[in-house]
A and B are shown apart, each in its own frame.
Chain A
Amino acid sequence: MAEMTIGEALRKAMVDEMRLDENVFCLGQDIGIDKGWGGAFGINQGMVEEFGHERIIDTPIAEYLMGGLCIGSALAGMRPICDVQYGDFLFNMASPIFNEAPKISYMSGGKMGVPMVLRMPVGSTGRGGQHAQSLEGFLVHTNGLKVICPSDAYDAKGLMTAAIRDDNPVVVLEHKLLYGNKGVRVEKNAVSTVCDVPDGDYVVPIGKGRIRREGTHITVVANLLMVYRVLEAANVLAEEGIEVELIDPRSLLPFDHELVYESVRKTHRLVIVHEDTLTNGWGAEVAARAAENCLYDLDAPVKRVTVPDTILPCAKNLESFLVPSVERIVQEIRSIVNL
């Protein structure tokens, strides 16, 4: 058992799997440069020293190529882990991610799979429209893909291990403010995600949510950074006698809808909080499913608390205004509970 940040846990998962399975390797921009960064957010730090340039491969700045390398090497028996420097660059690898990798199993009549992991930093951090998106809505609409979003170090290690062992393409959404609040590449306003991570082998199954806080008055579903904002909001509300049940889905595709239904049947209220924009964000699907499956258990309308439909700004005051804050979450939850 050791205390770790998400950044450290992701690295440990990769290192452990690379020691275990010689087919696992990493590729990406600036991940293995000698005396370099170990990736833009330092997650691959120290790995080239252990595994060498043959298994920690620095690619050119060529995202379609990176996606294609994952697919081709996976077809040839490898398990690539690709560092997509910023998740936003997924649009530069849109064809491999949306139109090639996830379709290989289906189009081959189930004869072929492409085990590949794409690590994508997301989340607004004052970087504006092209380096701060949450991207979730684009990804969860893609059949054949899996999408995970760990919010603490335990889940990060377990989910990352599951992703590397999965025989399908898996996108890991890594929030820039959750990598950790210590070290050289630490972000301003980073949140501590430190928790105990077992030394030994374990996986967190993809597609299983987790109840982060038990409560009786309202179910809140939130992921990544919003998990921490909701936890803070829940503490405020607890003082008013409102007990929030917080579900972290951990995987967005597949999604643990059952866990949400079970909770709603108990609390009769549902709020979804995410940093992706409102329209067709993953919360829309959660709301629709709840309506289909437990409408008569609900005592109030389902509420989504998200970034509104907009491009993200750089200006700090605008960003803070747009991204759900603890105060806004408290208000929204309170208004639903008091209905």
Chain B
Amino acid sequence: MTLGKNDLIRMYELMYTTRVYEEKLYFMFLEGILPASIHQSHGQEACGVGVGYSLRKEDMLFTSHRNISHLLTKGLDLKALMAEQFFKETGCSKGRGGTIHINDMSVGIPVTHGILGAAAVHACGAATAFQIKKSENIAVAVFGDGASNEGATYEALNWAQVRKLPVVFVCENNFYGASTHVSKVNPVEHIAEKAKGFNMEYYTLDGNDVFAVYNATKKAVDKARAGNGPTFLELETYRIAGHSRSDSNSYRDKEESDYWISDERDPIKRMERHLLKEAILTPEGLDKKQAEIEEKIEEAVRFAISSPDPSIEDATLYNYYERVNK
């Protein structure tokens, strides 16, 4: 599929929604309104949008903690997501899951895990199921540079290539796993090179270029869907905010952060420039879009705040799955 005007606008909306959503969470966190910390993806929005946009609803996306752009692009309901951030009964996990354990199987999001390494093996499980069922669906695992070093991730890569599974591995390399720089814990220049050892096709690309991400993922997705096996994509990007809210990035190299934190490299600014240059949106049209999105976020916040907490009587409900729960 070549991207039309509407696709570009939609991709911009998703990136901008993610940015505003997270900024809103941040302010609410500082104000003491939000009950939990967050893992912002500020600066990485093109990754989740580019990847998510290349998938069908039925494809399963396994992600983890820095997940907002993935979830929204896959189609998760904004209000249900916001309500979950507030641990409300109306949240997509009924307040039991919170910011990390988000789910909506109707759009192909099995519950996300806060356990690094899980995404890759779970995605292999789904892909194994699709292979057995001769289904057209594929699975995608998204994980960070840090999680790429989990043994589970390597076990997954090995198995996926052995079985030519319909799966795509996406490593969002934002140069840090918590406070540890990627160069301290990797013997290769590009994480993707490790896939070579598994005889898997691999690419390193600019994760701040939503078109590059979309195009590469789309190719990998089509290949997986056609039964031609997995691909490893490394998306180079940068975590502008701290790891979580209390992190001030004290350990970061100034030259490095100056390079990455600029309007030049900002994925959203880049998209804006493109939309204006190609006259897909006028400056007024862009302002209007942004205002609409900001209002949607406010609406979601109002919904979340006015939603009820889960009821005390149900505190131990759901330990075991029953079909009626649904």
Distance, CA A62 to CA B125, complexed state (A): 13
Which residues does chain B contribute within 8 Å of A105, judged by CB atoms?
Answer: 318-321, 325
> By the criterion CB–CB under 8 Å, are B124 and A68 in contact?
yes
B77-131 CB contacts (< 8 Å) to partner A: 91-97, 101, 103, 105, 110-111, 113, 115, 117-118, 120-130
Which residues does chain B contribute within 8 Å of A78, judged by CB atoms?
Answer: 129, 132-133
Whether A106 contacts B125 in the complex (CB less than 8 A), given A65-B159, A111-B105, comes out as no
Which of A93-101, A255-263, A264-272 lies at the interface with chain B?
A93-101
At the interface, yes or no: A312 with Cβ under 8 Å from chain B? no
At the interface, yes or no: B323 with Cβ under 8 Å from chain A? yes
> By the criterion CB–CB under 8 Å, are B155 and A108 in contact?
no
Which residues does chain B contribute within 8 Å of A146, judged by CB atoms?
Answer: 320
Which of A6-14, A53-61, A227-235 lies at the interface with chain B?
A53-61
At the interface, yes or no: B68 with Cβ under 8 Å from chain A? no
> By the criterion CB–CB under 8 Å, are A68 and B152 in contact?
yes
Number of B residues, CB within 8 Å of A:
49
> By the criterion CB–CB under 8 Å, are A73 and B125 in contact?
yes
Which residues does chain A contribute within 8 Å of B256, judged by CB atoms?
Answer: none
User: Closest residue to B157 on the A side, CB-wise?
Assistant: A65
Distance, CA A55 to CA B133, complexed state (A): 10
At the interface, yes or no: B162 with Cβ under 8 Å from chain A? yes
At the interface, yes or no: A200 with Cβ under 8 Å from chain B? no
> By the criterion CB–CB under 8 Å, are B129 and A110 in contact?
no
At the interface, yes or no: A1 with Cβ under 8 Å from chain B? no
Distance, CA A67 to CA B151, complexed state (A): 13
User: Closest residue to A105 on the B side, CB-wise?
Assistant: B321
Whether A71 contacts B125 in the complex (CB less than 8 A), given A105-B320, A109-B94, A168-B320, comes out as yes
| Shortest beta-carbon distance from A4 to chain B in Å | 29
Q: Tell which of A67, A75, A99, A109 touches B110, judged by Cβ atoms closer than 8 Å.
A: A75
| Shortest beta-carbon distance from B114 to chain A in Å | 9
Interface string of B223-262 (1 = CB under 8 A from A): 0000000000000000000000000000000000000000
> By the criterion CB–CB under 8 Å, are B118 and A68 in contact?
yes
> By the criterion CB–CB under 8 Å, are A110 and B126 in contact?
no
> By the criterion CB–CB under 8 Å, are B111 and A112 in contact?
yes
Q: Tell which of B93, B156, B320 touches A108, judged by Cβ atoms closer than 8 Å.
A: B93
> By the criterion CB–CB under 8 Å, are A111 and B325 in contact?
yes
Interface string of A121-161 (1 = CB under 8 A from B): 00000000000000000000001101000000000000000
At the interface, yes or no: B290 with Cβ under 8 Å from chain A? no
User: Closest residue to A254 on the B side, CB-wise?
Assistant: B320
Number of A residues, CB within 8 Å of B:
42
> By the criterion CB–CB under 8 Å, are B118 and A110 in contact?
no
Whether A111 contacts B93 in the complex (CB less than 8 A), given A68-B121, A100-B115, comes out as yes
> By the criterion CB–CB under 8 Å, are A72 and B152 in contact?
no
User: Closest residue to A54 on the B side, CB-wise?
Assistant: B132
> By the criterion CB–CB under 8 Å, are A60 and B103 in contact?
no
Distance, CA A70 to CA B125, complexed state (A): 6
| Shortest beta-carbon distance from A72 to chain B in Å | 2
Q: Tell which of B95, B128, B151, B323 touches A167, judged by Cβ atoms closer than 8 Å.
A: B323
At the interface, yes or no: A104 with Cβ under 8 Å from chain B? yes
At the interface, yes or no: A247 with Cβ under 8 Å from chain B? no
Which residues does chain B contribute within 8 Å of A113, judged by CB atoms?
Answer: 320-323
Distance, CA A72 to CA B140, complexed state (A): 11
Distance, CA A73 to CA B321, complexed state (A): 16
At the interface, yes or no: B317 with Cβ under 8 Å from chain A? yes
At the interface, yes or no: B139 with Cβ under 8 Å from chain A? yes
Which residues does chain A contribute within 8 Å of B123, judged by CB atoms?
Answer: 72
Whether A72 contacts B127 in the complex (CB less than 8 A), given A64-B117, A106-B96, comes out as yes
> By the criterion CB–CB under 8 Å, are A109 and B318 in contact?
yes
> By the criterion CB–CB under 8 Å, are A167 and B321 in contact?
yes
Whether A25 contacts B132 in the complex (CB less than 8 A), given A60-B159, A111-B326, comes out as yes
At the interface, yes or no: A308 with Cβ under 8 Å from chain B? no
> By the criterion CB–CB under 8 Å, are B121 and A65 in contact?
yes
Which residues does chain B contribute within 8 Å of A73, judged by CB atoms?
Answer: 125-126, 128-129, 132
Distance, CA A67 to CA B60, complexed state (A): 18
At the interface, yes or no: B158 with Cβ under 8 Å from chain A? yes
Which residues does chain B contribute within 8 Å of A104, judged by CB atoms?
Answer: 110-111, 321
> By the criterion CB–CB under 8 Å, are B93 and A99 in contact?
no
At the interface, yes or no: B62 with Cβ under 8 Å from chain A? yes
> By the criterion CB–CB under 8 Å, are B97 and A167 in contact?
no
CB<8 Å pairs between A and B, sample of 26: A60-B158, A60-B162, A62-B159, A64-B151, A64-B152, A65-B156, A65-B158, A72-B124, A72-B139, A73-B132, A75-B105, A76-B126, A77-B133, A95-B117, A99-B115, A100-B113, A104-B110, A107-B93, A107-B103, A108-B103, A108-B111, A109-B97, A110-B94, A111-B103, A112-B111, A168-B321
